[in-house]
Structure 1
Amino acid sequence: MENNYRIESDLLGDRKVPVEAYYGVHTLRAMENFRITGTTIASHPELIKAMAAVKQAAARANAQLGLLPQEKCDAIVAACEEIRAGALHDQFVLDVLQGGAGTSTNMNANEVICNRALELMGHQRGEYQYLHPNEDVNMAQSTNDVYPTALHVAVLMALENLIDGMEHLRVAFQAKAEEFADVLKIGRTQLQDAVPMTLGQEFATFARMLQEVVVHLRTQPLLLTEINLGGTAIGTGITAHPDYAALSCAALAEVTGMQLHTAPDLIEATQDCDGFVQVSGLLRRSAVKLSKICNDLRLLSSGPRAGMGEINLPPMQAGSSIMPGKVNPVIPEVVNQIAFEVIGNDLTVTLAAEAGQLQLNAFEPVMADSLFRSIRHLANGCRTLADLCVKGITANHDVLHRNVEQSISLATALNPLIGYKAATAVAAEAYARGETVREVVLRHGLMSETELDDALRYDALTQPRIYAKHHALAPEA
Structure 2
Amino acid sequence: MTAASEPATIPPTPTRQERDSMGAVAVPASALWGAQTQRALHHFNIGREKMPLEMIKAYAVVKRAAATANGASGRLAPEKRQLVEQVCDELLAGQHEAMFPLPVWMTGSGTQYNMNVNEVIANRASQLTGQPLGSKRPLHPNDDVNMAQSTNDTFPAAIHVAVATALSARLLPALRALQSAMAAKASAWGDVVKVGRTHLQDAVPITLGQEWHGYTGMLEDQAKRLEQALAGLMALPLGGTALGTGASTQEGFDRRICAEVARLTGLAFHAAPNKFALMGAHDALVACSAALRGLAASLFKIASDVRLLACGPRAGLGELALPANEPGSSIMPGKVNPTQAEAMTMLCLQVMGNDAAIAMGGAGGMLDMNAYKPLMAHGLLQSLRLLADGMGSFRRFLVEGVEPNRARIKQALEHSLIMVTALAPVIGYDKAAQVAHHALENNQSPRQAVLELGFMDEAAFERVADPRLMLRPNVPGTVPE
Q: TM-score, normalised by structure 2?
A: 0.93
- Which residue of the partner structure matches residue 209 of structure 1? 218
Give the Cα–Cα distance (whole angstroms) in 1 for the partners of residues 141 and 95 of structure 2. Answer: 18
- Does residue 265 of the first structure (1) align with residue 290 of the second (2)? no
- Which residue of the partner structure matches residue 167 of structure 1? 176
Give the Cα–Cα distance (whole angstroms) in 2 for the partners of residues 54 and 328 of structure 1. Answer: 46
Q: TM-score, normalised by structure 1?
A: 0.93
Give the Cα–Cα distance (whole angstroms) in 1 for the partners of residues 334 and 13 of structure 2. Answer: 62
Give the Cα–Cα distance (whole angstroms) in 2 for the partners of residues 26 and 457 of structure 1. Answer: 76
- Does residue 97 of the first structure (1) align with residue 105 of the second (2)? yes
1:227-284 Cα distance to aligned partner (Å, 9 max, x none): 1101101111111112211111112111211111222222222111101110111111
- Which of residues 99, 119, 140 in structure 1 aligns to 2:148? 140
Give the Cα–Cα distance (whole angstroms) in 1 for the partners of residues 185 and 405 of structure 2. Answer: 14
> How many residue pairs align between the two structures?
469
Q: How far off is 1:3 after superposition?
A: 9.5
Give the Cα–Cα distance (whole angstroms) in 2 for the partners of residues 370 and 236 of structure 1. Answer: 29
Paired residues for 1:271-350 under 5 Å: 271-350=280-359
SS in 2 for 1:8: strand
Q: How far off is 1:121 after superposition?
A: 3.9
Partner letter of residue 237 of structure 1? Answer: G
Partner letter of residue 307 of structure 1? Answer: G
Give the Cα–Cα distance (whole angstroms) in 2 for the partners of residues 125 and 56 of structure 1. Answer: 21
Q: 1:100 to 1:435 in 2, by over 3 A?
A: closer
Give the Cα–Cα distance (whole angstroms) in 2 for the partners of residues 407 and 308 of structure 1. Answer: 13
Give the Cα–Cα distance (whole angstroms) in 2 for the partners of residues 196 and 238 of structure 1. Answer: 67
Give the Cα–Cα distance (whole angstroms) in 1 for the partners of residues 257 and 327 of structure 2. Answer: 56
- Which of residues 16, 23, 33 in structure 1 aligns to 2:26? 16
- Which of residues 131, 145, 157 in structure 1 aligns to 2:165? 157
Paired residues for 1:108-123 under 5 Å: 108-123=116-131
Between 1:196-205 and 1:182-191, the stretch displaced more is 196-205
- Which of residues 67, 72, 77 in structure 2 aligns to 1:69? 77
Asked if structure 1 preserves the Cα contact closer than 8 Å seen for 2:225 and 2:291, the reply is: yes
Give the Cα–Cα distance (whole angstroms) in 2 for the partners of residues 36 and 351 of structure 1. Answer: 21
- Does residue 51 of the first structure (1) align with residue 59 of the second (2)? yes
Q: CA RMSD in A?
A: 1.9
Asked if structure 2 preserves the Cα contact closer than 8 Å seen for 1:146 and 1:229, the reply is: yes
Between 1:353-362 and 1:174-183, the stretch displaced more is 174-183
1:136-158 Cα distance to aligned partner (Å, 9 max, x none): 00001000001011111111011
Between 1:422-431 and 1:400-409, the stretch displaced more is 422-431
Q: 1:220 to 1:3 in 2, by over 3 A?
A: closer
Paired residues for 1:70-89 under 5 Å: 70-89=78-97
Q: How far off is 1:451 after superposition?
A: 4.2
1:79-118 Cα distance to aligned partner (Å, 9 max, x none): 1122112121221111122114100110111111222233
Asked if structure 2 preserves the Cα contact closer than 8 Å seen for 1:174 and 1:207, the reply is: yes
Give the Cα–Cα distance (whole angstroms) in 1 for the partners of residues 474 and 125 of structure 2. Answer: 72
Between 1:2-11 and 1:412-421, the stretch displaced more is 2-11
Q: How far off is 1:14 after superposition?
A: 1.1
Give the Cα–Cα distance (whole angstroms) in 2 for the partners of residues 54 and 10 of structure 1. Answer: 23
- Which of residues 417, 429, 451 in structure 1 aligns to 2:426? 417
Between 1:126-135 and 1:183-192, the stretch displaced more is 126-135
- Does residue 60 of the first structure (1) align with residue 68 of the second (2)? yes
- Which residue of the partner structure matches residue 199 of structure 2? 190
Asked if structure 2 preserves the Cα contact closer than 8 Å seen for 1:313 and 1:393, the reply is: yes
Asked if structure 2 preserves the Cα contact closer than 8 Å seen for 1:223 and 1:274, the reply is: no
SS in 1 for 2:45: coil
Q: How far off is 1:424 after superposition?
A: 2.1
- Does residue 221 of the first structure (1) align with residue 230 of the second (2)? yes
Give the Cα–Cα distance (whole angstroms) in 1 for the partners of residues 276 and 293 of structure 2. Answer: 29
SS in 1 for 2:197: strand
- Which of residues 411, 436, 440 in structure 2 aligns to 1:431? 440
Partner letter of residue 52 of structure 1? Answer: A
Q: How far off is 1:221 after superposition?
A: 3.2
SS in 2 for 1:238: coil
| Percent of matched pairs sharing the same residue | 41
Give the Cα–Cα distance (whole angstroms) in 2 for the partners of residues 453 and 171 of structure 1. Answer: 37
Give the Cα–Cα distance (whole angstroms) in 2 for the partners of residues 379 and 451 of structure 1. Answer: 53
Q: 1:352 to 1:324 in 2, by over 3 A?
A: same
Give the Cα–Cα distance (whole angstroms) in 1 for the partners of residues 260 and 324 of structure 2. Answer: 51
- Which residue of the partner structure matches residue 114 of structure 2? 106
- Which residue of the partner structure matches residue 31 of structure 1? 41
Unaligned runs of 5+ in 1: none
- Which of residues 135, 140, 153 in structure 2 aligns to 1:127? 135
Asked if structure 1 preserves the Cα contact closer than 8 Å seen for 2:435 and 2:453, the reply is: no
- Which of residues 233, 238, 244 in structure 1 aligns to 2:242? 233
Unaligned runs of 5+ in 2: 1-11
SS in 2 for 1:307: coil
Give the Cα–Cα distance (whole angstroms) in 2 for the partners of residues 179 and 17 of structure 1. Answer: 63
Q: How far off is 1:207 after superposition?
A: 1.7
SS in 2 for 1:220: helix
Q: How far off is 1:125 after superposition?
A: 3.0
Partner letter of residue 411 of structure 2? Answer: R
Partner letter of residue 368 of structure 2? Answer: Q
Partner letter of residue 433 of structure 1? Answer: N
